[in-house]
Structure 1
Amino acid sequence: MSTPLMRRPFSIGFLVLMLSLSADQLSKYWILYGLDLPDRVSVKVLPFLNFTMVWNHAVTFGMFGGLGNAGRVLFSVIALSVACGLLVWMARTPSKLTAACVGAITGGAIGNVIDRVRYGAVVDFIHAHAFGWSWYVFNVADSAIVCAVCVLVLQSVFSDRQQQAS
């Protein structure tokens, strides 16, 4: 008896990949061409949230930003290589939750690669701040990656606790 397509971990992971990639690219399109944020620079959304235009030529938190055009190619090749490895993990895992998380990470990584190829830099625009504290400006792809990694870590911690209790 075969399992329906959407009950297979890879199918769920691929769906999450496509959803996170689509949400990322649609939000960036709207930021660039609908809201015209590059010309407006920053727009207050809530007292603790702005849309602030940042072209990120580096990687996480601006690391390795001095590599110029070579960095764009290098970061894209590394991200696509990691995405390929993640697809293998997604295809092999029996866990639907793991597949969904890996799909979100892969979708986010591909979304940022598309930006590097298309614009030469990653489009970042979500700026959270409160009480004089300000977080780095990020995007939907970054959010998908961070949230999925947090869920994978929690899943691992709780899985380890269950195994130790057995």
Structure 2
Amino acid sequence: MAALTVLILDQASKLWLLFVFDLAHRGAVRVTPFFDLVLAWNVGISFGWFQNDGQVAQIILMIIKAVAVVVLAIWMAWSRTLIATVALGLIIGGAVGNAIDRFAYGAVVDFALFHVQIGEKNFNWYVFNLADVAIVAGVAGLLYDSFLGEPAAKAP
């Protein structure tokens, strides 16, 4: 359920920003003094690493993502805690959402930019989307479950 919810919210937000709000033609839109909507096409992986818009590179990234989703789904099927199950669902939903972008547009649609100005310096965070938020929340949930969750049952 978490994966499907993330997937729907992620794709709905991207479709709305691209085709209804028309973010591409509006340019950067200031929402608050520290948050803007901007359109960024990410042809790399997380945080824009390994930027490459070649078709072979995109296919390799899609294959890696597909394998990762299958592995995470198997892990989720064997999960014994609600936190881990939801966390894995968040990661899967985010990964599939970004994979849909990569397939449909050749790049992932990123749009959220947090920033702060201190004196004359402007500090920007990476531009991201709701799928990225879900992936980070899922990883945080897995870490919480691993370190602070229910202890594993001890053998008799």
Same fold (TM over 0.5): yes
Aligned mate of 2:5, from 19, 33, 37 = 19
Q: Comparing 97-106 with 151-160, which one deviates more in the overlay?
A: 151-160
Q: Which amino acid aligns with 2:78?
A: R
Q: Distance in 2 between matches of 1:141 and 1:54?
A: 14
1:162 CA drift (Å)? 9.3
The percentage of counterpart residues that share the same residue type is 38
Residue in 1 aligned with 2:43?
A: 57
Aligned mate of 1:126, from 109, 112, 119 = 112
Checking the alignment, whether the CA contact within 8 Å between 2:58 and 2:106 is kept in structure 1 is yes
Q: TM-score w.r.t. structure 2 length? A: 0.90
1:116 equivalent in alignment to 2:102: yes
Aligned mate of 2:129, from 133, 136, 139 = 139
1:52 CA drift (Å)? 0.5
Tell me, what secondary structure is at the counterpart of 1:66?
coil
Q: How does 1:1-166 map to 2 (within 5 A)?
A: 15-66=1-52, 68-131=54-117, 132-159=122-149
1:63 CA drift (Å)? 1.4
Q: Distance in 1 between matches of 2:26 and 2:95?
A: 27
Q: Comparing 131-140 with 63-72, which one deviates more in the overlay?
A: 63-72
Deviations 1:55-106 (A, max 9, x none): 0011112211135221211111111110011111111112111110000000
1:159 CA drift (Å)? 3.8
Q: Which amino acid aligns with 1:60?
A: S
Q: Comparing 53-62 with 153-162, which one deviates more in the overlay?
A: 153-162
Q: TM-score w.r.t. structure 1 length? A: 0.84
Runs of 4+ in 1 over 3 A off after TM superposition: 159-163
Tell me, what secondary structure is at the counterpart of 1:50?
strand
| Structure 2, unpaired ranges of 5+ | none
Give the paired residue count: 149
Checking the alignment, whether the CA contact within 8 Å between 1:111 and 1:141 is kept in structure 2 is yes
| Structure 1, unpaired ranges of 5+ | 1-14
